[in-house]
Amino acid sequence: MHRRIAARLERDPDAVLAKAFANLDAWQERHRGSALEPVFLEWRNLLGALNPAEIGALITAEDQRAIRLRQSSPFAGVLTPKEVWAIKKDHEAA
């Protein structure tokens, strides 16, 4: 899914990043003071510091940091439910 998100980020970085920041805003409000807050802050810092190509490389990387970050990805909602189901279906078939 993150490979598809990275491609969308390349085509329309403003929309993808706006969705990611909106998710972070909502999650930080909902989970203020919780153990999740540092992860949301880490994402916010990364999205503010990296350019879209660097973000795309990060979210598709296979190192431990990228794997950990994908567990709390702020890119929920970038892909439509139909796109998500198609990816899952293709993955199951593979």
| pLDDT value of position 87 | 87
Q: pLDDT tens, position by position, for the chain (94 residues)?
A: 999 999 999 999 999 999 999 999 999 999 999 999 999 999 999 999 999 999 999 999 999 999 999 999 999 999 999 999 998 888 777 6
> What is the number of other CB atoms lying within 10 angstroms of the CB of residue 10?
13
Q: CA 66 to CA 57: how far, in whole Å? A: 9
User: Tokens 């909106």, residue?
Assistant: 22
For the chain, domain boundaries: 2-88
Q: Identify the helix (H) or strand (E) that includes residue 20.
A: helix 13-30
pTM across the whole model: 0.88
